Amino acid sequence: MNSRIITIIALLFASNFAYSNNDNSSKFGILGGLNYTSVETEWPPMIKYKAQYQTSANFYLFFDYLLSENFILNSGIRYSVISTKLKDKTEYSIGIDKSDLDFNLKQILIPLRIKWQFDEFYPLAGLEVGYLLSPELKDVSRNRVADISYNKYDLLLCLGIGKTIRFERFEILSELVFNYSLTNVYNEKKYDPEEFKTYHKTLKTIELNINIGISFNL
């Protein structure tokens, strides 16, 4: 794993324990469940793909910091798997085969989110910084991995809603969270000599997390 990521994780944990020593309102917990994932992608100027949603998994180790009576700062480290199928919808000339693709991505993310707690429900919103571990685009028709250059980092917008069931010593949580990539996962461009233009291939990830978990007071 990248040393910078390890450093950030260590600082995150250290800051939480320092904070929790002065405030008994901090919580520690874990969430996990299904990912319903897809991508938005463009391969200009001619090739067109349509993405299909696939299921995978994600896990989230988190801390909650009480900012006020109703507002909570939520952060930690999340591991996510994204997979989708890209169906080739390009209209080719006769004799050219279509090329369907499988896209798979594992990434580690550090969320920074705000929860607005009222009664047992809470909406949430924030950002996530992701580090791409193993992006792979496979040409299913030709059974080979496509030679694509990727960026190492991603930035995602997250919006969601959760519910808390409180017990004396712990809480049960359920969340439905939508994550949308604000940056381009690809680091690819193509020059068209006929139009004298440079085209950029784009790919942005989409996640719908359906999670359940547990949290404890620190």
3-state secondary structure 103-146: EEEEEEEEEEEEEECECCEEEEEEEEEEEECCCEEEECCCCEEC
> Measured on CA atoms in the order 57, 52, 102, 156, is the torsion positive or negative?
negative
Mean pLDDT to the nearest integer, 67-87: 91
CB 49 within 8 A of CB 148: no
List pLDDT tens digits, range 173-189. Answer: 999 999 999 988 887 66
Structural domain range at position 134: 3-217
Per-residue pLDDT at 50: 83
Per-residue pLDDT at 28: 93
Determine the Cα angle at 40 with ends 35 and 45, to 5°. Answer: 160
Place of tokens 């604000």: 182
> For residues 154 and 4, which has the higher predicted lDDT (pLDDT)?
154
- Distance CA(205)–CA(42), nearest Å, equals 12
Q: Which range has the worst mean pLDDT, 29-43, 81-95, 153-167, 204-218?
A: 81-95
Mean pLDDT to the nearest integer, 39-63: 85
> For residues 184 and 8, which has the higher predicted lDDT (pLDDT)?
184
Q: What is the CATH number of the domain that holds 166?
A: 2.40.160.20
Number of domains in the chain: 1
CA-closest candidate to residue 103, choices 16, 185, 20? 185
pTM for the structure as a whole: 0.81
Mean pLDDT to the nearest integer, 16-30: 65
CA-closest candidate to residue 138, choices 108, 106, 105, 185? 105
Over its C-alpha atoms, the chain yields an Rg (Å, rounded) of 20
List pLDDT tens digits, range 96-137. Answer: 667 788 889 999 999 999 999 988 999 999 999 999 988 888
Average confidence score pLDDT of the chain: 83
CB 5 within 8 A of CB 13: no
Query: Percent of the chain at pLDDT above 90?
Result: 44
List pLDDT tens digits, range 146-158. Answer: 777 788 899 999 9
Most confidently modeled range among 15-19, 148-152, 157-161:
157-161
Per-residue pLDDT at 97: 66
Per-residue pLDDT at 1: 47
CB 120 within 8 A of CB 166: yes
Residue 86 has pLDDT above 90, yes or no: no
